[in-house]
């Protein structure tokens, strides 16, 4: 290895490791790119150009202008380019131009997090401060923290509001009559970081946006949607699904980037440590990342290390400081942890210390991923794949802004997807196949929003037909929630639907998780998932802090917990049954049948295991809890016993083979769909009553489905192929957490047959037709 800055840093981190068993599975130097500039649009007011010049921005890049042109011409557009590629300018130009020239025009900016909204408001305020003509735009935040007086002021005076989907739903749409002045003039809706709207949150946000467009149009406006997104598969299709209308996309990034070296790192197995069922255990990603962080700091590289939990961030910082204390004591004090939960003052102090180089190494949760302006670092270490390609680049993008060389190291966790990615760099570093998945047609999400829509403005027959929601409207009418009158459907008297929807809270009833030591509400969990996650005795991690559940009261919707950090973690054991209620789509390929089905999943938590961090099982505790049913969508596949036998899967190995294949597929679904393995469940059986054949189900863990099973069905061939590669590429002998073991298996990871899983997955891959 010679050459790049990143390679030199890596060499330092690798010093002392055995060159024959290097943990680095791949290194790639992504060359620097030079900027491609465009002219400022002819329609743009020179005062706006001057304002940017004053902040140091003289020439726009091509993609910024391409997106601005679409929007200014009235076309919905999404700009999906790299981190820090200046996506904000793309929406600011049309918005500022329009608002400057039409003194009544308004714009609404939506961000998935408050921090990002605040950051964007700050950046716009800096630009507006350059010219007194701009002051009457009065940009203003409108979120859960805005007090009543300020809200009133904002409604009457502000022409650019910075808000989020939650406030848009509860603060604006529910009382839209008070917002008529603003909505009548609404010209632009900006949807920033739109790849964050996924799963159930995505479905809720899609319906909020569609309702917003509906009331704005009824008020006489016709707003254009400008979305910004990280690079994902098919951004225009995602925006179209979000707003229900056609959209354009701009994806060619013309911003300059410095040379970046990306290394993929797989920690070695720990000698003499075994986990569940005797499986080998790898060094933890956090500990490995702590070592790399220390090495980079010794080299003088300003480094951020992303760790998935708060506790992990603390431990990684401590590991690095400990190593430095013995090798370079003068540097030990220049490493710290940063996470949500620190006091605001401490956070600002740490941010300043990072920015001015006083701190050289910082281990952080994703609190530093979005909306905190820290840039110009030399290296980023990511302990564990952050779940999406977009997040990976967002974290990686913290290093090397504007032309400087940088290094990025991804350290794999013991997990099939991490293992796959460090051995298949193309899936991470080339065009992503991961699509932002959500399903706004899920009746469990759609019906409450239809009630809100009817409360906002009566639903007209032509509108109901156009949206294809006749069946749901009929059901709501039969349930007495809507009333049919001549002009359309009205909300029944006494129904108040807005407060019943929690945009981020999932679907249906919620269980509140309350810390009894402080009476503080920690968060909520769907009723459907409560039994497996907050059963009595469960260890519950909330933002990195640990609690133990004392009581789960399903009638009152409460899980009572107290702070405690036991040495063990818990995992529920359950029994599951799947009953197919309808087939949505199916394909037959000889001995293989693949279908997308509607199904009812009945599961019962029967106990839980207590496990030590090394994977060792302490004991199994029985529980007596009621069964739960989940109506959802699933991918189903069956194989004939003859084909399985021919592939070498015997009757004895079949249960373990199907079970292991199911686990690995659940672990790998996030490669093609933006989900987490905890969002999905599975069942495998030698003989299923509905099919009469060996059958595997992978289902969405949310009532009605969140779109994950649908995406798995659509990308089935890619999904199976990647899963087969991940399992066969894993160096363990009989199965480990990096391939077929699952951290949430209801059967304690038994039985599992790794070789059988490879045979099953290879058989499916061989049987599927080649992609076109």
Ligand X SMILES: Nc1ncnc2c1ncn2[C@@H]1O[C@H](COP(=O)(O)OP(=O)(O)OP(=O)(O)O)[C@@H](O)[C@H]1O
The binding site for ligand X (CB under 6 A) comprises 57, 59-61, 83-89
Pick 86 or 202: Cβ nearer ligand X: 86
Of 303, 299, 301, 354, nearest to 328 (Cα)? Answer: 299
Enumerate residues 6+ apart whose C-beta is below 8 A from 659: 684, 747, 751, 752, 753
Pick 395 or 741: Cβ nearer ligand X: 395
Enumerate residues 6+ apart whose C-beta is below 8 A from 170: 498, 499
Say which residue the tokens 């605001």 belong to.
Answer: 344
Pick 32 or 57: Cβ nearer ligand X: 57
Give the Cα separation of 199 and 437 in Å (integer): 6
Say which residue the tokens 């917002």 belong to.
Answer: 179
User: Whole-number minimum distance, CB 296 to ligand X, in Å?
Assistant: 23
Count of CB atoms situated within 10 Å of the CB of 159: 24
User: Whole-number minimum distance, CB 84 to ligand X, in Å?
Assistant: 4
Pick 25 or 163: Cβ nearer ligand X: 163
Q: What are phi and psi of 757, to 5 degrees?
A: -65, -40
Nearest residue (beta carbon) to ligand X:
86
User: Whole-number minimum distance, CB 375 to ligand X, in Å?
Assistant: 8
Of 743, 738, 662, nearest to 419 (Cα)? Answer: 738
User: Whole-number minimum distance, CB 124 to ligand X, in Å?
Assistant: 11
User: Whole-number minimum distance, CB 109 to ligand X, in Å?
Assistant: 12
User: Whole-number minimum distance, CB 88 to ligand X, in Å?
Assistant: 3
Of 216, 219, 223, nearest to 189 (Cα)? Answer: 223
User: Whole-number minimum distance, CB 188 to ligand X, in Å?
Assistant: 16
Pick 86 or 440: Cβ nearer ligand X: 86
Count of CB atoms situated within 10 Å of the CB of 554: 15
Pick 246 or 403: Cβ nearer ligand X: 403
Give the Cα separation of 146 and 161 in Å (integer): 12
Pick 227 or 592: Cβ nearer ligand X: 227
Structure tokens at 76: 């919905």
User: Whole-number minimum distance, CB 57 to ligand X, in Å?
Assistant: 5
Residue count of the chain: 772
Strand segments, DSSP code E, in 500-627 are 510-515, 520-526, 539-542, 545-553, 558-563, 569-589, 592-611, 617-622
Structure tokens at 453: 């829509």
Of 549, 544, 545, nearest to 562 (Cα)? Answer: 549
At 419, is the secondary structure helix, strand, or coil?
helix
Largest CA distance in the chain: 81
User: Whole-number minimum distance, CB 686 to ligand X, in Å?
Assistant: 48
User: Whole-number minimum distance, CB 89 to ligand X, in Å?
Assistant: 5
User: Whole-number minimum distance, CB 428 to ligand X, in Å?
Assistant: 17
Q: Alpha helices, DSSP H only, in 299-442?
A: 310-327, 344-355, 389-396, 416-423, 425-429
Contact indicator for 685, 695 with CB cutoff of 8 Å: yes
Pick 85 or 533: Cβ nearer ligand X: 85
Pick 121 or 558: Cβ nearer ligand X: 121
Give the Cα separation of 57 and 645 in Å (integer): 66
Pick 85 or 653: Cβ nearer ligand X: 85
Pick 119 or 276: Cβ nearer ligand X: 119
10 Å CB burial of residue 517 (0-12, 13-18, 19+) is exposed
User: Whole-number minimum distance, CB 765 to ligand X, in Å?
Assistant: 36
Pick 65 or 745: Cβ nearer ligand X: 65
What's the alpha-carbon Rg for the chain, to the nearest Å? 27
Residue 621: strand pairing partners: 608
Contact indicator for 234, 189 with CB cutoff of 8 Å: no
User: Whole-number minimum distance, CB 126 to ligand X, in Å?
Assistant: 9
Question: What are the CA-CA distances from residue 387 to residues 391, 394, 413, 567 (Å)?
Answer: 7, 12, 11, 26
Question: What are the CA-CA distances from residue 389 to residues 195, 196, 245 (Å)?
Answer: 11, 12, 26
Pick 85 or 365: Cβ nearer ligand X: 85
Enumerate residues 6+ apart whose C-beta is below 8 A from 555: none
User: Whole-number minimum distance, CB 402 to ligand X, in Å?
Assistant: 7
Pick 83 or 532: Cβ nearer ligand X: 83
Give the Cα separation of 534 and 572 in Å (integer): 9
Pick 86 or 280: Cβ nearer ligand X: 86
User: Whole-number minimum distance, CB 79 to ligand X, in Å?
Assistant: 8
Of 174, 203, 243, 675, nearest to 445 (Cα)? Answer: 203
Contact indicator for 141, 118 with CB cutoff of 8 Å: yes
Pick 228 or 596: Cβ nearer ligand X: 228
User: Whole-number minimum distance, CB 504 to ligand X, in Å?
Assistant: 21
User: Whole-number minimum distance, CB 65 to ligand X, in Å?
Assistant: 9
Pick 235 or 280: Cβ nearer ligand X: 235
Structure tokens at 608: 């839980």
Structure tokens at 547: 């609690």
Count of CB atoms situated within 10 Å of the CB of 362: 28
Q: What are phi and psi of 19, to 5 degrees?
A: -60, -25
Task: Name the strand (E) or helix (H) holding 643.
Answer: helix 641-646
């Amino acid at each position: 290895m010679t050459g790049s800055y990143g390679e030199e840093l890596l060499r330092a981190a690798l010093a002392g490791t055995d060159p024959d068993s290097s943990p680095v599975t791949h290194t790639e130097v992504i060359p620097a790119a030079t900027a491609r500039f465009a002219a400022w649009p002819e329609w743009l007011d020179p005062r706006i150009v001057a304002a940017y010049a004053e902040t140091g921005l003289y020439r726009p890049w091509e993609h910024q202008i391409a997106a601005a042109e679409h929007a200014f011409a009235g076309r919905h557009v999404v700009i999906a380019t790299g981190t820090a590629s200046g996506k904000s300018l793309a929406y600011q130009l049309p918005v500022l131009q329009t608002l400057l020239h039409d003194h009544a025009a308004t714009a609404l900016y939506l961000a998935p997090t408050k921090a990002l909204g605040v950051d964007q408001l700050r950046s716009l305020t800096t630009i507006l401060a350059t010219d007194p003509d701009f002051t009457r735009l009065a940009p203003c935040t409108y979120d859960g923290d805005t007090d009543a007086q300020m809200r009133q002021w904002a409604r009457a005076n502000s022409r650019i509001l910075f808000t989020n989907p939650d406030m848009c739903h509860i603060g604006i749409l529910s009382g839209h009559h008070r917002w008529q002045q603003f909505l009548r003039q609404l010209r632009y809706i900006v949807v920033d970081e739109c790849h964050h709207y996924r799963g159930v949150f995505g479905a809720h946000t899609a319906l909020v946006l569609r309702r917003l467009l509906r009331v704005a149009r009824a008020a006489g406006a016709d707003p254009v949607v400008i979305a910004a997104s990280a690079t994902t598969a098919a951004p225009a299709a995602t925006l179209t699904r979000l707003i229900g209308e056609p959209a354009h996309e701009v994806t060619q990034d013309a911003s300059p980037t410095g040379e970046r070296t990306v290394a993929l790192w797989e920690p070695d197995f720990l000698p003499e440590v075994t986990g569940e069922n005797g499986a080998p255990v790898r060094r933890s990603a956090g500990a490995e990342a702590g070592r790399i962080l220390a090495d980079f700091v010794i080299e003088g590289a300003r480094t951020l290390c992303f760790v998935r939990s708060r506790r992990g961030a603390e431990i990684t910082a401590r590991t690095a400081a400990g190593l430095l204390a013995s090798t370079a004591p003068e540097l030990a004090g220049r490493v710290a942890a940063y996470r949500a939960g620190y006091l605001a003052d401490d956070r600002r102090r740490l941010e300043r210390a990072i920015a001015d180089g006083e701190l050289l190494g910082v281990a952080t949760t994703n609190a530093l991923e979005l909306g905190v302006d820290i840039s110009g670092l030399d290296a980023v270490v990511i302990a564990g794949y952050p779940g999406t390609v977009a997040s990976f680049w967002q974290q990686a993008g913290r290093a090397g802004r504007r032309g400087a060389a940088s290094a990025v190291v991804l350290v794999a966790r013991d997990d099939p997807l991490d293992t796959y990615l460090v051995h298949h760099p193309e899936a991470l570093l080339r065009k992503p196949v991961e699509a932002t998945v959500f399903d706004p047609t899920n009746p469990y999400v759609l019906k409450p929003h239809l009630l809100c829509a009817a409360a906002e403005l009566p639903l007209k027959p032509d509108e109901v037909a156009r949206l294809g929601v006749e069946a749901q409207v009929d059901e709501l009418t039969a349930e007495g929630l809507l009333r049919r009158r001549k002009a359309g459907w009205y909300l029944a008297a006494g129904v108040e639907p807005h407060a019943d929807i929690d945009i981020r809270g999932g679907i249906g009833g919620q269980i509140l998780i309350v810390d009894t030591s402080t009476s503080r509400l920690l968060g909520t969990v769907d009723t459907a998932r409560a039994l497996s996650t907050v059963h009595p005795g469960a260890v519950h991690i909330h933002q990195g802090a640990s609690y133990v559940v004392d009581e789960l009261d399903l009638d009152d919707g409460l899980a009572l917990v107290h702070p405690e950090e036991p040495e063990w973690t818990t995992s529920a054991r359950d029994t599951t049954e799947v009953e197919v209620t309808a087939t949505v789509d199916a394909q037959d390929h000889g001995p293989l049948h693949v279908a997308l089905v509607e199904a009812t999943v009945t599961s019962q938590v029967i106990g839980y295991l207590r496990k030590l961090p090394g994977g060792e099982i302490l004991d199994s505790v029985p529980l007596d809890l009621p069964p739960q049913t989940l109506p959802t969508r699933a991918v189903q596949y069956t194989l004939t016993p003859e084909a399985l036998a021919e592939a070498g899967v015997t009757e004895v190995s079949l249960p373990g083979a199907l079970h292991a294949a199911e686990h690995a597929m659940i672990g790998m679904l996030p490669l093609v769909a933006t989900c987490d393995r905890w969002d999905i469940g599975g069942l495998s059986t030698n003989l299923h009553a509905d099919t009469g054949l060996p059958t595997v189900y992978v289902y969405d863990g949310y009532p009605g489905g969140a779109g994950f099973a649908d995406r798995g069905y659509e990308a089935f061939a890619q999904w199976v192929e990647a899963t087969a590669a991940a399992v066969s590429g894993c160096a363990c002998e009989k199965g480990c957490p990096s391939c077929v073991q699952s951290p949430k298996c209801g059967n304690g990871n038994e039985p599992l047959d790794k070789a059988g899983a490879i045979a099953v997955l290879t058989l499916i891959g061989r049987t599927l037709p080649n992609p076109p």
